[in-house]
Amino acid sequence: MSRPATRNKNKRHRPEDEAEIRSEILRRIHSTGEITQDDIEQLYNIRKTICQGCRVNTRDNPNCFCGLVPPPNGSRKSGLWQKMSEIVASFGPDPAKDLRDSEDSPAGLTNLGATCYANSILQFLYMNRAFRECIFSVEPEVLKQHPVLDQLACLFAQLRASKMAFVDSAPFIKTLDLDNGVQQDSHEFLTLLLSLLERCLSHSEVRNAKTVVQDLFRGSVSHVTRCSMCQQDSEASSKLEDFYELELNVKGLKSLDDSLVDYLSVEALNGDNQYYCESCGTRVDATRCIKLRALPPVLNFQLKRCVFLQKTTAKKKITSTFSFPRLLDMGKRLAQPSDSQMVYELSAVLIHKGTAVNSGHYVAHIKDEITGHWWEFDDEQVSSLGHHPFGEGKSGVVCMPDKVDIVNSPCKDESPSVSNKNYVNPELPSSSGDNNVETYSSTDAYMLMYSIRHSNLGGDRYSVCSADSKERKADVAPLNAKTPLPSHLSEMIDELNASYLIVCDQYKDRKERELSNITQRREEVRSLISEAPVVSLEEPYFWISTDWLRQWADTVAPPNGIDNSTIRCSHGKVPVTKIGSMKRLSSEAWTRLYSKYHGGPCLQDIDCCKVCLLDVAREAVNANSYRDTRASMKELAEAALAGKCFDGTLYYVSKPWLQQWVRRKNSDQPSEADAGPTTGITCPHGQLRPEQAASAKRVLVPEVLWLFLYENANLLLTPRKEEDNSIKPELHLDRLTFPFDSRVCPECSIELTEVACLEDTLREVKMRQRQNHEKLAAGKSFPLSPNLKYYLVPSTWMCKWRNYVNASGKNISLSVKPDSLDGVIDSLICEKHSRLLDRPPGLTCKRGMIFQKIPATDGLAILTANDWDTFCEEWGGRQEKGIIAEIKFRDSLKSNIFGSCQEQSITEDQMNDEVDDQLADREPYIDTSPEVCEDCIGERETSELMEKLNYSDKDICVCLIHGKEAPKSILEASKNCFELDRRTSKRSRKTPFGDKVNLKVSGCTSIYQLKMMIWEYFGVVKENQVLHKGRSIIDGESATLADLNIFPGDVLWVTDSEIHENRDIADELSNQKIDLQLAEEGFRGSLLASSTS
């Protein structure tokens, strides 16, 4: 059997060839009414080749399944083919990642926003083994009575035995009623927390727990004042004061030794600061100092890094390098040196990162008492530092942003590490007198914690060391013993760990299940798509919706059933118009889909709808006929628009409508825009509008073009319904047809004639007024003479009159007519005093003549008596109601050049130098009748000023001047404000004299806030800003812009004095926010504050 000849059938045609072939088939079907199998294969694109490797799916090829699935290594942004890593991320965080590495590694604490200060202190307390064991030993009933103790015990228990790498600190923070969004001082938090815990623990019957705060952290000092004459101490010198930490100065000091010497130094009391000695009975010179009486086992040093700067009235953090030793000998610093060795070892360093006082971040470096291993506690992150407080730098050791250089270390195998701000300095003297003891340095160390060092760590208990070398023993288990948790805490931890492990297992199971499902779905889709193409024309096939197939191939959860309803016609078959929305599916692929998902309907190869195909053929033939006819009619329309004369019967159509019709693209059928070819030339009376009317231009077209437009618009074939109330019943569509001999509507012609006559009359009236007031209409000024009578009218009325009489052309009917003069003059007189409500305009002398200053738009304008009389006749005014103005001088001298009572111009020939000097020495002014009412004007101006100053969200311009003096354009810029509603750029722009920026401000904006904006844009600190408006300097920061009469559109300029050092604006904003809102309150409102009351 020979191979079928499919070469020509499968040959790929060009798009224009395919369109021609398709059009030929449809014409033949329309003419014969017969449809062959070959026609169906051609029109349904069944013979198109099976695509392979296309980047997108081809809509008009039912055999193309490309693009339904991505390439083997490809992915998509969503759906079934999303990257596996993104799908796993959509499951949420894996709880197993929060699993603690081992029982020996500490756990972190969650930061609830700004609670790092509390986390650092809590970790320090927990890592003190004696303290946490005493908390664990508190009776359950006492814990229930004191929620703070209860939550602290639960927190410590979780830090010790939780399976998670970090513990939620929210219950403890909530119990203290702390605001987790406000950064607080860690030293203040420790002081208040110890005070609260001391009060709560006093209710316990367990001896060790009852006084653990006092036994571990409390020492005593005395303030000794000694008379220089009798050498006796004051009575108050014998009083002991408890302390829980020693506050040491840092400014100007380099080491802990220097700070301790400064703390214990002797202060001389002399001069105005003399001491009154009761023994001597007089004011005498004396000395005062602090003496250490007893030291606790845990000695805390608070480094005072916060100082107040008087120049900037702000707080600043001292970031100078400060050194401290690993071993600290405090025996010689007691008031009475102890016989026993009192050597303390560094156990914790609290670090404050950042340059701002009231912001930044707290971390804690704490040593494990048992192993001697250092850890960095940074909220949830806990990192190993090795055997040194700032990291060893060994391989495998986490290097933090602090640095350390290990020199003369007792550990021979430990290599030094270098980082940013912390290091070991062997050259600084040691407190213990041993030059080989390690000394550390830091720029951010904020608190130092030292623990007493004993020769026998295994058997000693913590003690309080005093001057007489006595120790208060406490029965606490040895440090290297591991005490089990109490039963109530152990049960809680077991439940939390069990629930956590369950969550981990659930996440793991879900992840495996979802990924397995996705993998199976991908394999199913790829397998079915590979079977989908129909290999030969003889094989049976099924039609399927492309939308449903794409949704099925791209979603993890496939749709419930096959939906082919969108590709089925009203006859229950497949129309040829849906060829771009469906695919040919092989019988095997359809069987697999249908057996699993069901749905339907099933549309086979025999379900091509021939009825719809005949309709499509008829529409295609009609479309071709319409397209060809319209192309020929378009040529006639273009000729008509060009002015060509045609023979035969002609008809009028709207010229603008025909121009739009010609510009429209050729289409297959008439559109709604083809209706109404004569609507624009039909008057309200249903007749032909005069061509002089607006938008009534018309053009004559030949009868053949009119009939084409007539048929398409369906103007006469479809009668109007009488139910349409918007159409008058007496009008008929045949009256909308206008042959070339149609008469113009007489009524509309008369109306147009009347309007034209009115416009002519109005034009003559305006011309006459321009002639009567030639200088006023042209806006020219004229010289004024004393002893002549003038009149005043509002400048706004004059502007409106000038625009009215100068309007011409199309604007003549649109110009606004001025109001009558009687009403205008009445509005200038106050009802209360019957005086003038506006001040007369100013006068100026030029070349020996007096002129009115250029009037403002809202002021008054001067008229001659002749102009006033004429205006009264033209605009309905009464001469006796006019506001009279006379030119007078401030002194009693009379001008020799103004002797006439008649109005006259003074030419330059009549003037001489003497007269010029005499006129220049005098100040002319206008005297009005009635007089000016200063009371009412003052009230109005005050009201207007208050309204003007009550602005918000308006622009002012600020210029940064690099020189000492601003240019003249800047100095005078505020006199001419720009438009308030104009859009302006907020970006800083370079200018020849400096930088310029527009700032959004309000009348209530303070100078301080304005300076902060300038700081943000130009980088000039507010203390260095010298702010000006014009030539005046703006001082202070508390006044508002309204107080200083700074209006929208004003131009301010600023220079940089460069007196104070630059700093980050974030520090100012942080200090401003904390100081103004919450810093003064501190812990007010929390449980810590109640413990101090």
Tokens 């980088």 map to which residue?
1019
What average pLDDT does this structure show over 552-559?
88
Tokens for 205? 């019957």
Residue 380 CA: distances (Å) to CA of 100, 153, 515, 572: 11, 19, 30, 66
Give the model's pLDDT for residue 536: 83
Q: Are 889 and 925 in contact (CB under 8 A)?
A: yes
What percent of the chain shows pLDDT beyond 90?
A: 19
Burial of 477 (0-12, 13-18, 19+ CB in 10 A): middle
At residue 441 the predicted structure's pLDDT band, cuts being 50, 70 and 90, is very high
Q: How many residues are given for the chain?
A: 1093
Q: State the pairing for strand pair 246-249/298-304.
A: parallel
Strand boundaries in 326-475, DSSP class E: 327-329, 343-353, 361-367, 374-378, 381-386, 423-424, 439-442, 445-453, 465-466
Amino acid at residue number 1068: E
The alpha carbons of the chain give a radius of gyration, in whole angstroms, of 49
Give pLDDT, residue 471.
Answer: 37
pLDDT of residue 257: 93
845 is catalytic: no
* Helix then strand then coil, % of the chain, to nearest 5: 35, 20, 45
- Kindly report the pTM of this predicted structure: 0.57
Residue 985 has pLDDT above 90, yes or no: no
What pLDDT is recorded for position 194?
92
Helix axes 610-641 and 655-663, enclosed angle (nearest 10): 130
Over residues 38-85, the pLDDT tens digits come to 888 888 888 888 776 667 777 878 888 888 888 888 888 888 888 888
pLDDT tens track for 1013-1051: 888 888 888 888 889 888 888 888 888 888 888 888 888
**116-174, pLDDT tens digit by residue?**
999 999 999 999 999 999 999 999 999 999 999 999 999 999 999 998 889 999 999 99
Residues 167, 122: Cα–Cα separation, whole Å: 12
Residue 752's pLDDT band (boundaries 50, 70, 90)?
confident
> Smallest Cα–Cα separation from 611: which of 569, 673, 655, 643?
569
Q: Which of 339, 341, 364, 332 has the alpha carbon at shortest distance from 257? A: 332
Check whether 286 has a pLDDT greater than 50.
yes
- In order, the DSSP letters of 154-199 are HHHHHHHH-SBSEE--HHHHHHTT--TTS---HHHHHHHHHHHHHH
Catalytic annotation present for 602: no
Distance CA 393, CA 401 (A): 12
Contact indicator for 206, 137 with CB cutoff of 8 Å: yes
pLDDT digits (tens, 9 = 90+) for 973-983: 655 444 444 44
3 state DSSP class of 258: helix
Annotated catalytic residue within 116, 277, 608, 748: 116
Q: Is the pLDDT reported for residue 375 higher than 90?
A: yes
Answer yes or no: is pLDDT of 459 > 60.
no
Question: What is the mean predicted confidence (pLDDT) over 810-817?
Answer: 69
Q: How many CA atoms lie within 13 A of 558 on its CB side?
A: 21
In the set 30, 203, 223, 361, the catalytic residue is: 361
pLDDT for residue 919 is more than 70: no
Structure tokens at 532: 């989908």
Q: Is the pLDDT assigned to residue 663 strictly greater than 90?
A: no
Q: How far apart are the first and last CA of the chain?
A: 109
DSSP 8-state symbol, 1074:
I
pLDDT at residue 730 greater than cutoff 70? no
Q: How many CA atoms lie within 13 Å of 740's alpha carbon, on the beta-carbon side? A: 12
Q: Say how far apart CA 408 and CA 438 lie, in whole Å.
A: 7
Instruction: Report in angstroms the alpha-carbon separations of 401 from 166, 393, 398, 424, 769.
Output: 21, 12, 10, 15, 87
Q: Given pLDDT bands bounded at 50, 70 and 90, which one contains residue 13?
A: low
Average pLDDT, the chain: 79
- With tokens 């083994």, the residue in question is 129
Mean pLDDT over residues 525-538, rounded? 87
> For 249, how many CA atoms within 13 A lie in the half-sphere containing its CB?
9
Mean pLDDT of 456-476: 39
